[in-house]
Amino acid sequence: MQQTLKSSVVFTGLGLHSGRSARMVIRPAAADHGIRFRRTDIALGDAVIPARWDLAERTALCTRLANGAGASVSTVEHVMAALAGCGVHNALIEIDGPEVPILDGSAAPFVRGLLACGLVRQSAPVLAIEVLRPVEVHDGAAWARLAPGKMMEITFDIDFEDSAIGHQSRHLVMKNGSFVRELCDARTFCRQADVDLMRANGLALGGSMDNAVVVEGDRVMNPEGLRHADEPVRHKMLDALGDLALAGGPILGHYTGYRAGHSLTNTLLRALFADKTNLRAIPCNPVQASGLPGVGVHLSEIPAVA
């Protein structure tokens, strides 16, 4: 069955790229509402932005959604991953600015807030997106693929020159709270040279070592080090889950990404939906529902380091 929150939960913090403070409230919503954002600082025009793949702008640094009236909200991937990973299908996210707070750079604060307020089942079945045929997209050496599968799986490979990251690979079946246990606390990461370049161009104004892992060559610059030896690839998997959540329902299929990012994952979703024979929307039967990402999650499963 679909789920929503028992009550509202509030988050406040700076936007990673804008550096602006924002207050965000995630509210319960009726069955079949889906996930929608509403800009409370916009008085005129349509301020509601559905969390849909076709409203995503393909950018490299984050996922930005914009509706036809020009209202937008950026850096939605972490909160979308938290909602998907906790099994929240319906919510209204009210925010008083253009960017979701980055908090600690992971999805763990969102997960903690969602699970602390509690979830409630609704009298409507979960509609899943079943992948029927393999779909693959490329961008230079990077590529991403969705292939048929009985439940959602994510495989990811990254390869960086900086030896503090290097080559990392991980595979995870996204069921029974595995997102909460394995991925939700993985923070966004970047190279020191990238930070300097972004700030020179007016970006990453809210970024710091409090909300990102910064590496330079073979060194992790953060005094506390990494939360996991392979934290970077775990975070890429977190991002992928958040971006795939824009499909409008849980995906039954295997996502594989090699050096992929937000833009390429959105390109993959566009390719998936471009041909109706690639997929079908189905109500989950009990066996399928039992393997969805948010089934059986508990607050105690959030890693202690987050």
Backbone CA torsion sign across 52, 54, 55, 60: positive
Q: Is 171 one of the annotated active-site residues of the chain?
A: no
CB 260 within 8 A of CB 136: no
Annotated active-site residue in 33, 235, 262, 298? 262
CB 77 within 8 A of CB 263: no
Q: What is the rounded CA–CA span in Å between residue 245 and residue 257? A: 15
DSSP letters for 90-159: -EEEEESSSB-B-TTSSSHHHHHHHHHH-EEE-SSPPEEEEE-S-EEEEETTEEEEEEE-SS-EEEEEEE
Secondary structure of residue 256 in the 3-state scheme: strand
Q: What is the rounded CA–CA span in Å between residue 256 and residue 136? A: 9
CA angle at residue 15 from 211 to 193, to 5 degrees?
A: 55
- Rg of the chain taking only CA atoms, in angstroms: 18
Distances (CA, A) of 44 to 24, 38, 47, 69: 19, 12, 8, 10
For the annotated catalytic residues, the residue numbers are 262
